[in-house]
């Protein structure tokens, strides 16, 4: 084959293709080939068109399982400092809203981000991004929202882009200036929304914005303000998503569906009407069990209603310094199974197929010839183990666009049997 050889071929593992809308799509004794960042063969090793050594420049015989690369579709990963003190306050009885109203919460992260220059912000954020990639993430969404002025929102979005370049992964950036009301706009929420609308075209023109988000909540922004921002986003051709119905039913899910939004995120308090609106619009429900866990919430999202209506459910880390300091999407999958009673298949699909859909990406999330060569080679015997093990590093290698972006050179976690 010469120059037509594939870049790589792995022979022997179980492939978890997620090729159809239900089931894992398992292929035992499988083979996975790729060239120029695209999958060229996904199927049984016995079906390869020629001997492996003639097909690819690099051939690997291996066991374990290969899944699509994980997609973390909701993070606030770029921030400075941390809010461990608030974690202690909540354990002593303070509520999230009480902390926020006393000047903590999001505004404490805003102060830290404004004080950090771009290189410092990158240096603090890079280890968090590396941790997510090492545990299987090949596509990462990162929001702004801790700057709350033009220069600092731009700084956050630039750092997000630089993280993707440094790690060799896809990073989708989301403009979340409507995250909280900055102190200089105290009592002037409408004027602040005017400012966020004014900044958006500038940042979009600089190539820094892939989508627009807002925090629609009683301690955030109301429906009228959110609609104004979303109308401006859609005028620029930008998709929208929303922090919706986390603390109360503010009809946020229906609001984002009204704009054909990519996703409604959190959704613990979403009503039946909101579920129906999401189903009609094709809006994904992004479940964030890390925040549910850390805040010790008890109100479950309407999971049965989502299933009955055919609303796709994604799972994400919500990695942030206040309510979800979670550095493993696989752990988020486990929490989704434990707290929300998702099946391991639903959780894996939520972190791949449906998470990609929540970012408007249709070229990844499954193992299928012609899609991006984003995949993870795991030291497990069956895919349910990805949600079974608490902690540990199970990813043998993570590929993004056919290139290895994380490899493990040490032995598997002690709790695991060696996987041939």
| Closest by CA position to 178, among listed 154, 153, 210, 156 | 153
CA distance to 96, 289, 298, 326, per residue, from 92 (Å): 12, 22, 18, 21
Query: 3-state class of 49 per DSSP?
Result: coil
Residue 92 annotated as part of some ligand binding site: no
> What own/partner pairs with CB < 8 Å and gap ≥ 24 does 161-167 have?
161/207, 161/208, 162/122, 163/77, 163/78, 163/122, 163/125, 163/126, 163/129, 164/140, 166/122, 166/126, 167/126, 167/129, 167/130, 167/133, 167/405
Say if CB 353 and CB 18 are below 8 A apart.
yes
Chain length of the chain = 420
CB atoms within 10 A of CB 22: 9
Residue 225 annotated as part of some ligand binding site: no
| Pairwise CA distance, residues 45 & 10, whole Å | 9
Residue 152 annotated as part of some ligand binding site: no
| Pairwise CA distance, residues 171 & 122, whole Å | 14
Residue 320 annotated as part of some ligand binding site: yes
* Eight-class DSSP state of 372: B
CB crowding 341-370: b at 16 or more within 10 Å, else e: ebebbbbbbbbbbbbbbbbebeebbbbeee
| Pairwise CA distance, residues 7 & 340, whole Å | 40
Residue 202 annotated as part of some ligand binding site: no
Residue 204 annotated as part of some ligand binding site: no
Residue 269 annotated as part of some ligand binding site: no
Chain centre to alpha carbon of residue 72: 2
Residue 323 annotated as part of some ligand binding site: yes
The label of the residue with tokens 């129906």 reads 276
What's the token pair of residue 351? 């972190």
What's the token pair of residue 280? 């009609």
| Closest by CA position to 303, among listed 317, 316, 286, 324 | 286
| Pairwise CA distance, residues 203 & 154, whole Å | 7
Residue 352 annotated as part of some ligand binding site: no
Angle between the N-to-C axes of helices 189-205 and 150-167, in degrees from 0 to 180, rounded to the nearest 10: 40
Residue numbers belonging to the annotated binding site: 74, 76, 83, 146, 179, 243, 246, 318, 320, 322-323
Residue numbers belonging to the annotated binding site for 4-imidazolone-5-propanoate: 83, 146, 179, 246, 323
Residue numbers belonging to the annotated binding site for Zn(2+): 74, 76, 243, 318
Residue numbers belonging to the annotated binding site for N-formimidoyl-L-glutamate: 146, 320, 322
Residue numbers belonging to the annotated binding site for Fe(3+): 74, 76, 243, 318
């Amino acid at each position: 084959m010469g120059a037509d050889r594939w870049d790589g071929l792995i022979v022997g593992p179980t492939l978890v293709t997620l090729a159809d809308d239900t089931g894992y799509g398992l292929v035992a004794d499988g083979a996975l080939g790729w060239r120029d960042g695209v999958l060229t063969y996904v199927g049984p090793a016995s079906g390869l068109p020629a001997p492996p050594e003639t097909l690819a420049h690099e051939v690997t015989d291996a066991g374990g399982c290969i899944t699509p690369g994980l997609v973390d579709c909701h993070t606030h990963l770029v921030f400075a400092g941390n809010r461990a003190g608030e974690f202690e306050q909540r354990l002593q009885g303070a509520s999230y809203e009480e902390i926020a109203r006393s000047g903590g919460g999001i505004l404490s992260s805003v102060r830290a981000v404004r004080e950090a220059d771009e290189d410092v912000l990158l240096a603090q954020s890079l280890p968090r991004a590396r941790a997510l990639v090492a545990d299987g993430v090949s596509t990462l969404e990162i929001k702004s929202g801790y700057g709350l002025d033009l220069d600092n929102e731009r700084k956050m979005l630039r750092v997000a882009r630089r993280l993707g370049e440094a790690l060799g992964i896809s990073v989708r950036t989301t403009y979340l200036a409507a995250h909280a009301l900055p102190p200089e706009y105290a009592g002037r929420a409408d004027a602040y929304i005017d400012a966020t609308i004014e900044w958006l075209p500038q940042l979009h023109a600089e190539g820094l914005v892939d989508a627009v988000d807002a925090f629609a909540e009683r301690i955030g922004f109301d429906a009228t303000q959110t609609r104004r921002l979303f109308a401006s986003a859609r005028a620029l051709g930008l998709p929208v998503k929303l922090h919706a119905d986390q603390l109360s039913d503010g009809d946020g899910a229906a609001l984002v569906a009204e704009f054909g939004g990519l996703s409604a995120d959190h959704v613990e308090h979403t009503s039946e009407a909101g579920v129906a609106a999401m189903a009609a619009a094709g809006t994904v429900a992004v479940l964030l069990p890390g925040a549910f866990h850390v805040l010790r919430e008890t109100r479950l999202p309407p999971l049965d209603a989502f299933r009955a209506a055919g609303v796709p459910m994604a799972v994400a880390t919500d990695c942030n310094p206040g309510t979800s300091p979670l550095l493993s999407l696989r752990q988020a999958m486990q929490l989704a199974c434990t707290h929300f009673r998702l099946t391991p298949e639903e959780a894996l699909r939520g972190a791949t197929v449906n998470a990609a859909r929540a970012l408007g990406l249709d070229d990844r999330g499954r193992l299928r010839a012609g899609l991006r060569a984003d995949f993870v080679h795991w030291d497990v015997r069956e895919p349910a183990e990805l949600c079974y093990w608490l902690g540990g590093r199970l990813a043998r290698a993570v590929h993004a666009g056919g290139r290895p972006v994380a490899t493990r050179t040490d032995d598997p976690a002690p709790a695991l049997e060696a996987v041939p």
